[in-house]
A and B are shown apart, each in its own frame.
Chain A
């Protein structure tokens, strides 16, 4: 990732179902790395969803989110803001709340069976990835993964950090803005 200047972009919206339909569906080699323990949770602490799901589960979900698409230099807020719409919906959607609470339970069960402790207290990313891999096919995991993929890589706010330009037509494209520039070839 780099630190190109941010360019204001229109907010995205809609098409959630079709995106998920597109993303529905498998093999990656996973490499462990140093994990940064975070004491905040995925949902804002004062949100109803956070209160309902419990502080522990809330932190577990954030840890999981950071393990699914680990970008160590990306602040927690970006992971949290991915999940905000999910949290909001869970407040009024008992099925979704069930998916999340039962999902976290299953994650912890898997973790205890393997390492004798809850997911949040499993120390290395390498070990946590083993736990995640075991529940990879679950609706819970795929839901979190799908929302994270859309929320992180499709978030115009952080495209510049990845060196992606986003919408360009309103800036006249790249015809006069360096389409042919490269200094190392």
Chain B
């Protein structure tokens, strides 16, 4: 495997190894472009993956100190855990449930679609669905998304959990379909078919689910063009006197600092760490942080409008005997303001194990007592949703640096401010009400509404914009201010869409790799 010199200034330095960074590294590697991938977390082995919710949570989650601020319940229930993501090679693709849906056409132009939304900072993406389609196709093929033309792979079979929801949807006239999952239903691309362990979100023990941990990363390394350095926490991105980035200062697992020179730097540390790195890299030339002439670095933090709904029935469902997300009620995914809210949402059929159900059914200090215990005693008779809806970008929902407190690396602790826009609240209430109707139509004896839990979908804090004044990166994820600095993760998202972000992150990374190759050849960067 490749090992590159710290003084090699011909390299692309990619920060993060998840959906964005891992994909970019492999795409560049296949084109013969060499990169170093700096990953803050460890490299896990397949044998580290266990079917145990809390064990895996403790093992792979990003648990460095963070603060959640704002009036939302999340700040009380989980004051130090805004996001539920991964610190390890593969990033959040180790944890994701595999849902791979394309954005809808209108979701790239929410400002044009709805006009100005009071209290929100809505903007059109500088790219269209039409432009993204070929890259979506490539992403579906790369990841192995079932139920698509790109792979020809059939859907997963209909689990008992799916059947309960599908029947409820039918009875209330709502559309429900099997989920497009980047989980093999047949052996494909050297990976096994899904065995339905029911633990997609704890890491797939069989590797049936696409994760850069065991797809893009080893493929990239096999080319000899990529060196992955785990346990490498980026402290700053440095630049030359002309304002071009020229390297990255990072701390290794022993706390020793190294400076890796670079021709190009691509930031892909997810929507809290990516803006944090740019803010931490403030200099005399860029006093507000790198690529922040717009003041939008760290702003417009979006998580999707979420919540949970778990219904209790008289008879067993055994929802855990299923892929985690076997299907989706797509009835309200469109933008129909007559519902009382803008944008759309998906009701994603999703199970939790008993351990997580006990923590999420009524999270926080008041989560105890007979009502909760009685519901948990009905665990095997539950079916439920995770609500995933478009989240309005609000400028004051943001990532900032703690004024005094530092983390184990000596970096200011990130402060995450997140609260609902009124549209989010209306959308969530609509979703709660429709879910209750759906479950009661199939005989639910009790329907529990769950508040949002720590976000696995984090977006928008380095957003893409046509004009430099409105955002951080252009249509290629290249920062408006610094030509050789890119953003390659979900922080690029201009708006959140209702779909799970990973497929779009991967499609954007494939597209970005083409652009980087072109610009390198032209010697523009």
Contacts and interface: CB of A to CB of B under 8 A. Distances in A.
Nearest to B158: A180
B451 to A, nearest CB: 10
A166 B317 CA distance: 15
Contacts of B367: 28, 145, 149
A62 B91 CA distance: 42
Contacts of B197: 168-169, 173-174
Contacts, number: 191
Contact of A25 (B51, B79, B318, B370): B79
Nearest to B208: A173
A29 B76 CA distance: 18
A59 to B, nearest CB: 20
Nearest to A165: B320
B380 A164 contact: yes
B78 A185 contact: no
A19 interface: yes
Contact of B371 (A30, A68, A175): A30
B59, B198, B322, B370 pick with most chain A CB within 10 angstroms: B370
A163 interface: yes
B371 A179 contact: no
Contacts of A22: 57, 78, 81, 359
B354 A162 contact: yes
Interface residues of B, number: 64
Contacts of A153: 354-355, 357-358, 376
Interface string A39-75: 0000000000000000000000000000111110000
B58 A19 contact: yes
A18 B58 contact: yes
B373 interface: yes
Interface string B167-211: 100000000000000000000000000111111000001100000
A174 B321 contact: yes
A20 to B, nearest CB: 11
Contact of A70 (B315, B362, B366, B373): B373
B363 interface: yes
Given A15-B57, A30-B371, A169-B195, A179 B63 contact: no
Interface string A151-173: 01110000100111111110011
Contacts of B376: 69, 153, 162
A136 B354 contact: no
B57 A179 contact: no
Given A153-B358, A179-B159, A163 B379 contact: yes
A185 B167 contact: yes
Given A1-B377, A12-B52, A165 B321 contact: yes
Contacts of A169: 51, 195, 197, 199, 205-206
Contacts of A167: 50-52, 199
A158 B173 CA distance: 39
A125 B371 CA distance: 12
A174 B320 CA distance: 9
Contacts of B196: 173-175, 179
B63 A21 contact: yes
Nearest to B315: A184
Contacts of B355: 150, 153-154
B524 to A, nearest CB: 45
Given A15-B58, A168-B51, A149 B358 contact: yes
Contacts of B358: 149, 152-154
A150 B369 CA distance: 15
Interface string A128-163: 010010001100001001000110111000010011
A165 B51 CA distance: 10
Nearest to B355: A154
A68 B372 CA distance: 10
Contacts of B57: 15, 18-19, 22
B469 interface: no
A162 B377 contact: yes
Given A164-B379, A180-B160, A70 B50 contact: no
Contact of B370 (A70, A136, A137): A70
A160 B279 CA distance: 49
B380 A21 contact: no
A116 to B, nearest CB: 23
Interface in B54-106: 54-55, 57-59, 61, 63, 73, 76-81
B521 interface: no
A36 to B, nearest CB: 13
B50 A21 contact: no
A177 B318 CA distance: 12
A129 B410 CA distance: 45
Nearest to A144: B368
16 contacts: A1-B377, A18-B57, A18-B63, A21-B63, A24-B79, A25-B76, A30-B370, A71-B373, A129-B370, A152-B358, A165-B198, A167-B52, A169-B195, A174-B196, A174-B321, A182-B318
Given A19-B54, A178-B160, 10 more contacts: A22-B57, A23-B359, A27-B366, A28-B362, A28-B371, A153-B355, A163-B379, A165-B320, A167-B199, A180-B158
Interface of A: 1-2, 10, 12-15, 18-19, 21-33, 67-71, 125, 129, 132, 136-137, 142, 145, 149-150, 152-154, 159, 162-169, 172-175, 177-185
